Amino acid sequence: MNLIDDLKWRGLFAQSTDEEALRQALSKPITLYIGFDPTAPSLGVGNLVVLLVLRRFQLAGHHPIALVGGATGLVGDPGGRNEERTLNSKEVVKDWAGRFRKQLSQYLDFEAPTNPARIVNNLDWTEPMSAIEFLRDVGKHFSVNQMLAKESVSARLEAGGISYTEFSYQVLQALDFLELFRRFDCTLQVGGSDQWGNIVAGLDLIRRVEGGSAYTLTVPLLMKADGTKFGKTASGNVWLDPAMTSPYAFYQYWLASDDRDVMKFLKVFSFLSHEEIDALEKSHQENPGLRTAHRALARELTTLVHGAQDCERVEAASRALFGQGDLRDLDQATLESALSELPRASVASLDDIPSWVDLIVAAGVVDSKSAARRIVKEGGAYLNNEKIAGEDFSPSSNDFIFGRFAILRKGKRDLAAVEVLQKH
């Protein structure tokens, strides 16, 4: 299938200034770019939407450039915000830009024989430019009236105002497109649909300064079926850095996808073929309880971001927590990561361990000891996947894996962790 048609099938095509001209241009290899501003220590799953579009272009034979916004990250994009962004120091932005470069390198092929990827930093051409040069050579090509009409700017003006710093962001982004056009014959910028105004400003600048033409492609902003923003959980953002979102939590994020979202996410994020996705959709429709599509999604994305080995570990942990594997076969780091997502009770030491009933109440899984005793009587009480026989049962020191953790379970799905605060 044609690349544009594939992007449309996957829900990854929002708008282009001239779709037919873009289709014709893509009949041979072109150079394109996507920008990523270092406004956090890590890329998040939201960044994957456009990052994987860049990868799809490379797989189709085109030349991808990932731009790290070392300069624009110091200024802040006003889009999608109702107030001024808190500016980070140069040292912080430089550090985050370095982290972004490392993460971006994971998703693009820099050794491809005919179309190797590039990573650039817009600070390289922005920092040497004086304020006078910027105003005379770049700023003179922008109409304030047109800038005020941009949706990101007009929305901020209605919300209370915008600083000159953030107002100038679109000029800096347009300069990026011009510089990449000059340096690498880059003729396509891809971005989220909220970047439309900034991207079009770059097209205009290329036309005014170089008399050249270029193309745009925007990707729809991804929302979940319940109307909430994609990429967030109750505990915060979902990051690509394993130190910020563990591989286990990352896997569980995808596994917990709403049934209404899972096929959309498979199309947007996976590199499965249309036929493979259609087969998963059929399976999902016939028996959604098996969660075949959810598991395929979680496996695809966890393998992509964290590697096959970590994916195998978290799948083993996921199975073991619900009685489909031996908890003691897990390595300590994976077990700790899995348990970090659970309700928790603690005991001071292995010398004085409360009863299962006391622990399940302390973890907040049930409201009262009488409710906990009823669970035991009904045969729904488990410790480390072993059924508890009596109401007075208390774990022994041998029940604590790595001398530190035990897992409580009520029924089939309700889990809690017990942690020993002080070992022998």
* The Cα angle at residue 317 between residues 379 and 356, in degrees rounded to 5: 35
Confidence grade of residue 234 (pLDDT, cut at 50, 70, 90): low
Q: Which of 73-77, 100-104, 122-126, 234-238 has the lowest mean pLDDT?
A: 234-238
* The Cα angle at residue 420 between residues 415 and 422, in degrees rounded to 5: 170
pTM of the model: 0.88
User: Taking 60 as the threshold, does the pLDDT of residue 406 lie above it?
Assistant: yes
CA–CA dist 205, 420 (Å, integer) = 63
User: Taking 60 as the threshold, does the pLDDT of residue 424 lie above it?
Assistant: no
- Cα torsion at 373, 377, 383, 387 (round to 10°)? 180
Average of per-residue pLDDT across 308-336? 88
Of 40, 44, 36, 10, the residue nearest 305 (C-alpha):
44
What is the per-residue DSSP string for 402-415?
TTTEEEEEETTTEE
Average of per-residue pLDDT across 12-29? 96
Predicted pLDDT of residue 305: 97
Predicted pLDDT of residue 356: 93
Of 333, 295, 293, 294, the residue nearest 317 (C-alpha):
333
- Cα torsion at 28, 108, 33, 91 (round to 10°)? -160
DSSP class of 256: T
Q: Which long-range contacts (CB under 8 A, 24 or more apart) does 106-113 make?
A: 106/305, 107/51, 107/52, 107/54, 107/55, 107/304, 108/54, 108/55, 108/58, 108/64, 108/66, 109/58, 112/58
Predicted pLDDT of residue 323: 78
Predicted pLDDT of residue 80: 67
Average of per-residue pLDDT across 234-262? 91
Tokens representing 267? 């199309």
User: Taking 70 as the threshold, does the pLDDT of residue 275 lie above it?
Assistant: yes
* Secondary structure of residue 259 in the 3-state scheme: coil
Task: Please check whether residue 420 is in contact with residue 345, taking contact to mean a CB–CB distance below 8 angstroms.
Answer: no
User: Taking 70 as the threshold, does the pLDDT of residue 247 lie above it?
Assistant: yes
> Domains, the chain, ranges and CATH?
3-219 (3.40.50.620), 232-338 (1.10.240.10), 342-422 (3.10.290.10)
Average of per-residue pLDDT across 6-17? 97
Task: List beta partners, residue 190.
Answer: 217
Average of per-residue pLDDT across 195-211? 94
Task: Please check whether residue 392 is in contact with residue 381, taking contact to mean a CB–CB distance below 8 angstroms.
Answer: no
Of 174, 219, 178, the residue nearest 200 (C-alpha):
174
Average of per-residue pLDDT across 220-246? 86
Confidence grade of residue 131 (pLDDT, cut at 50, 70, 90): very high
Residue type, 333: A
Question: For 200, phi and psi rounded to 5 degrees?
Answer: -65, -35
Look up tokens 């050249």; give the residue.
212
Question: For 94, phi and psi rounded to 5 degrees?
Answer: -65, -45
Question: For 258, phi and psi rounded to 5 degrees?
Answer: -60, 140
Average of per-residue pLDDT across 126-139? 95
Rg (Cα) of the chain, in Å, rounded?
A: 26
Q: pLDDT tens digits, residue range 166-198? A: 899 999 999 999 999 999 999 999 999 989 989
Confidence grade of residue 235 (pLDDT, cut at 50, 70, 90): low
Predicted pLDDT of residue 82: 74
Taking the CB of residue 24, how many other CB atoms lie within 10 A of it?
11
> CB-hemisphere CA count at 13 Å for 111?
1
Alpha helices in 270-351 (DSSP H): 274-286, 292-306, 308-321, 332-339
